[in-house]
Structures are given as C-alpha cells and as structure tokens.
A = this chain, B = another copy of it.
Amino acid sequence: MYAAPSIQVLLDELGRLPGIGPKSAQRIAYWLLNADRDEALRLADAIVQVKNAVHFCERCFNYAQDDLCEICASPTRDATTICVVSAPHDIPPIERTAVYEGVYHVLGGALSPMEGIGPDDLRIAELMARLADGSVTEVMLATNPNVEGETTASYIARLVKPLGVKVTRLASGLPVGGDLEFADEVTLGRAIESRRTL
C-alpha cells in the first residue's frame, strides 16, 4: 500500500520462496535496496545463470551443468554402488556426511497411489537400464522414511533383487544426539527392532 510498485513486486516474489515470511521478505528487500547495485544484481544474475545452465544429468538425473553431473563425472566415485533418492535436494545432505563414495540415481518423486504417481512416473526404467551391464553391485535405497518412500523402496527392491544385485536401505532409528524421552513411538519401535548386538 505504501511501498513503491517495484518494491511491492520484489516483496511478493521474495515471499513466495520457501521459508521466507513477510518479515524476512521485507528484511531481504531492504537489504537489496540498500546494497550496491552490482552486489544486488549478482543475485539476479545467479538466478538467471542457474536457470540457463542447469539441466538434468543424463545418467543420474541430478542437476548438472554439463552432460554429466559433478558426481557422475568424477573419476574418484565408486560407480559400482548406486544410491537411489527421490529428488536432487536429497543428495547434498548425503554428500555432507562424507560417508558415501558411490554414485546416485534420482527418481524424480516417490510412488503415491493417492496422488496418482505410479512406477512409470518415476525414473525406474532408467535405473534398471543402468543395472543391465552387471557392473553395479549394490543399490542403496535412500528414499524418505515415510509411507511413499518405503513403498517406493519395496517396489524397487522387488525389481532389483532378481538381478543378483545387493539391495540395501538406510537404517531407521534414534537420531544421534537425540533424546530417548522425546523420540516418537514409531522411530523408537524401529530402533528396538533394528537393535545391534554389541
């Protein structure tokens, strides 16, 4: 109401970003207004560049700037293990653990009869094609630990096991550093079922 039209447009656009409420949008908008012209335009340019340069990796469907993503193109990654995830944004948290050295396959979603998402809507055929030459020895299913993710993992496990490829699933259990008192019963139940012998 009191803001210049172009400021209001910026506030609206910022407010559509995930996790950005009206107050954050205003704080960012005023930061951009106050910033050097070049500094503010660097952000605009980064958005344009990313939309121009980034597409899907032709092998794993992660975001990539060349034909292959950085991970598929890396000679140091172990191409005999494929970690299957729902979306590209699931890859950075796994990479940050520095525990996984294999490659990825991005399904582009999870099976959901409720939302009408079936096997043909995911990149499952593309995963099977990657297994065809027998060089892959393990498929690690890292879909989310919820109903859709578990359904998707079970479905893919059923397809892959007959090929003689080892199929694994991320463990469920108590978060490290978490508090037993505040664990939900499903997670705690899973932790009990999956208890380790010491």
Contacts and interface: CB of A to CB of B under 8 A. Distances in A.
Contact of A5 (B17, B26, B65, B95): B65
Contact of A44 (B3, B6, B24, B44): B44
A66 B3 CA distance: 12
A166 interface: no
A180 interface: no
B71 A2 contact: yes
Given A30-B89, A63-B7, A88-B33, A48 B53 contact: no
A50 B89 CA distance: 30
B4 A64 contact: yes
A30 B51 CA distance: 11
Interface stretch (A34-42, A116-124, A129-137, A142-150): A34-42
Interface stretch (A8-16, A78-86, A188-196): A8-16
A176 interface: no
Contacts of A186: none
A40 B30 contact: no
The 5 closest A-B pairs by CB, nearest first: A4-B65, A44-B47, A30-B89, A44-B44, A10-B46
Interface of A: 1-7, 9-10, 12-14, 16-20, 24, 26-34, 37, 40-51, 53-54, 63-66, 69-71, 87-89, 91-92, 95
Given A2-B70, A6-B50, 16 more contacts: A2-B92, A5-B65, A7-B54, A10-B50, A12-B46, A18-B27, A18-B28, A18-B31, A19-B28, A27-B89, A30-B89, A32-B51, A33-B50, A34-B88, A34-B89, A40-B47
